[in-house]
A and B are shown apart, each in its own frame.
Chain A
Amino acid sequence: MPDLPFALDVKDLSKAFARPAVDHLDLKVRAGEFYALLGPNGAGKTTLLRMVAGLLQPDSGDISIFGIDARHNPVAAKRVVAWVSDEPMVYDRLTPLEYLQFVAGLWEMPAADAERRAHELLGWLGLMPHADERCGGFSKGMLQKVALAGALVHDPKLIILDEPLTGLDAGSARQVKNVLIDKVRTGVTVIMTTHILEVAERMAERIGVIARGRLIAEGTLDELRAKARHGGTSLEDIFLDLVADHAAGAESAAA
């Protein structure tokens, strides 16, 4: 059986601002996988994902999305990707339905399919009563759900989410998590950064830990547990242990 292409295959990717944000990083995510990316603030998670989504130009390295070279054929790669950031970017003066109509237009979806899917998504996310209200008056949680609906309306194969649960109440967070789990069940790949370690622990099949622009550990929860030298049983203990080890290693190397 031929090898299936990875949903995401990042090779030797680098990006520096004042200092290296992503430093010769390699990352492979399998199709249909729920992958959580963890790391302390400023570790390079958002920079990495913004490069994958085509929002930032890498300094060097390769990005392949389902076998498509995203650096040389960005439009083709973007067709199968959806991006959701922690700050929902939605037009204040459009209604959720108008927003979804616009998104569907950008991804060239047939109008009838898009309309049916938009209603379906707004129903799932509990936004149907607000479908004709302008987004300007929405809470952060509602805006995040509109942005998520926008990401899902064009049926992406890879969904990239940067801290999607920030600022959401428990109910909204659960709705978002349920929708993502459903998508993974249907074969969609999800890559998500989060500071809520419990979410990564419960939802992700594999977890990557990134620090100082490098992937310092990766695997299932059990594999990470084995890698952590004196970590406890929770992901929080393991994560803190791995990051502290890496920081100590980096400092001694610098000395």
Chain B
Amino acid sequence: MSAAPASLAWFARHELSLFWRDWIGMMTAGRRTRGIVLVLVLLIAAILLHLLANALVGPWLANGIRADKPTLVLITGSGLLFWSVMLSQALESVTRAYYARSDLDLILSSPASARRLFAVRTAAIALTTSVLAALLAAPVVDMLAFFGGPRWLAAYGVLAAFGALATAIGVFITIGLFNLVGAKRTRLIAQIVAAVIGAAFVIGIQAAAILGYGTMNRFAVLQSADVVAHAPGIESPVWLPARAAMGDLGALATVMLMGLGALAAAIAVSAASFSHHATAAASVGQGVTRQRRTARFQPGSQKQAMRRKEWMLLRRDPWLLSQTLMQILYLLPPALLLWVDFGKEAGAAIVVVPVLVMASGQLAGGLAWLALSGEDAHDLVATAPVPPRAVLVAKLESIMAVIAIIVGPLLLLTALLSVEAAMIAGAGIVLASGSATAIQMWFRAQARRALFRRRQVSSRAATLSEAFVSIMWAGAAAIAAGSPWWWASIVPASMAMLVLLLAWAIRPRS
């Protein structure tokens, strides 16, 4: 039976079919064998993650889990950590619903109801957010349900409620930004807010762990006697979500009612203005940004011209700004630990060195994508009388210079603490940023610079190997800097080299 055209069900089917095709296309790239391999890889990953989760929750289950205060604090705190990431993702998706043009122009110019489209798209965001969260939490929830009883399956209901709540808050924030700062700035601010929300809670709790307990372990805070003592009483409604996750059906019904109610309210309140804001978002690209100073032509070589252009574009890239802000945010906890631990060199170095290495690897990957793949005037550069090698070298030089400027002062600060740690960090930074850049170079594919934030989608292999290599170099640097068995750093270093080799072997040949 087919739904009436332009009805809610009709829009829902349209969205579902688009989502399914996009997902299948992205995962299999139209190749059946790739689909089969993917299913096998996912199955193996699921089994491994379930085994890992079993090791994690096993001792907890063995001692018997009661709804006492420490347990409620731990579940609520962990849930909040998880939810901050869900909220961040939902806010980003809601913003995209207003700005992504694809079929929006067609639908908004048709007599179909924009309210219905918005309702369906918002519900789809809630669903996607909840499903992704459920997939991530599944190993832990499944193991708890398997060994602790099916009551733990109620946690999936809590995830659905919190997915809906995150989407509702995302809608309210986006609408608020549209009204407050206008369509031109809403997208950028929403993305920065999303990034900060995603990181702030994690970083905040980590900072509390460092300041209070001198450890990077976030759970140390959630399990500490001080926090448990200061937490509200066991009967407080604050613990409703935790009780719901533990199988209290009354609490589950309340939580779901609140989550889904918030979503319904968000849709009801904002659906009417969707068309208006989406139309305003469509005209954003037509705004004029005037430079304060007229460009003065400067003499220089071809490479200098390339580097100048790259730096100018990087300086003016709003997404790069938000990504760098994120990198700096993630550097705060180790910096804090450095401050707390000043004097205990090895303790600080073992945290600071790998963070610097990891951050520079990630930064280099982003910069390399922008410079190598995100070349908006590819034809111009390709038809210029510059050998391709010179173009590549100039681009690489511009990336390395930016990394040097950003991590240079941090390295100097580290040197004040320990020259040896600074030297190890320096070597790690060179290796991690060099590796990330090499991977982006091997996997480069021409794309619009505006797609920077979705660069992960263009090549999963590049993204995964870039992250893995950075982690391995960071691990190697940490062992070299802080462990008496410094020679053991050869293990992660060899793994980094192995991944690099693998990435090189599977690089696209065209």
Contact = CB atoms under 8 A, between A and B. Distances in A.
A221 B379 CA distance: 32
Contacts of A103: 380, 384
Contact of A134 (B291, B380, B384): B291
A95 B295 contact: yes
Contacts of A134: 288-291, 316
Contacts of B297: 101, 104, 111-112, 114-115, 118
Contact of B379 (A55, A75, A95): A55
A98 interface: yes
Nearest to A99: B377
A209 interface: no
A150 B380 contact: yes
Interface in A150-205: 150
Contacts of B304: 105
B385 A132 contact: no
B381 interface: yes
A93 B317 contact: yes
A89 B378 contact: yes
A107 B300 contact: no
A102 B309 CA distance: 7
A3 B312 CA distance: 47
A53 B381 CA distance: 11
A114 B298 CA distance: 10
B508 interface: no
B383 to A, nearest CB: 4
B449 interface: yes
Interface string B281-325: 000011111110111111111101110110011001100000000
Given A93-B317, A133-B288, A137-B289, A85 B379 contact: yes
Contact count band on B: 35 or more
A105 B291 contact: no
Given A83-B379, A92-B450, A97 B299 contact: no
B382 interface: yes
B387 interface: yes
Contacts of A136: 285, 287, 289
B384 A94 contact: no
A110 interface: yes
B313 A94 contact: yes
Nearest to A108: B302
A105 B308 contact: yes
Interface in B379-396: 379-387
B420 interface: no
Given A81-B383, A94-B309, A102-B308, A89 B377 contact: yes
B376 interface: yes
30 contacts: A79-B385, A89-B376, A89-B377, A90-B376, A91-B309, A91-B313, A92-B450, A93-B312, A93-B317, A94-B309, A94-B312, A97-B294, A97-B295, A101-B297, A101-B305, A102-B308, A103-B380, A105-B301, A105-B304, A105-B308, A106-B306, A106-B385, A108-B302, A108-B385, A111-B297, A118-B297, A132-B293, A134-B316, A137-B286, A137-B287
Interface of B: 285-291, 293-302, 304-306, 308-309, 312-313, 316-317, 376-387, 449-450
The 9 closest A-B pairs by CB, nearest first: A105-B305, A115-B297, A106-B384, A78-B385, A97-B295, A89-B377, A93-B316, A111-B297, A111-B299
Given A93-B312, A136-B287, 17 more contacts: A55-B383, A75-B386, A76-B385, A78-B383, A89-B379, A91-B377, A94-B313, A97-B294, A105-B306, A106-B302, A106-B380, A107-B384, A107-B385, A108-B301, A111-B300, A132-B290, A132-B294
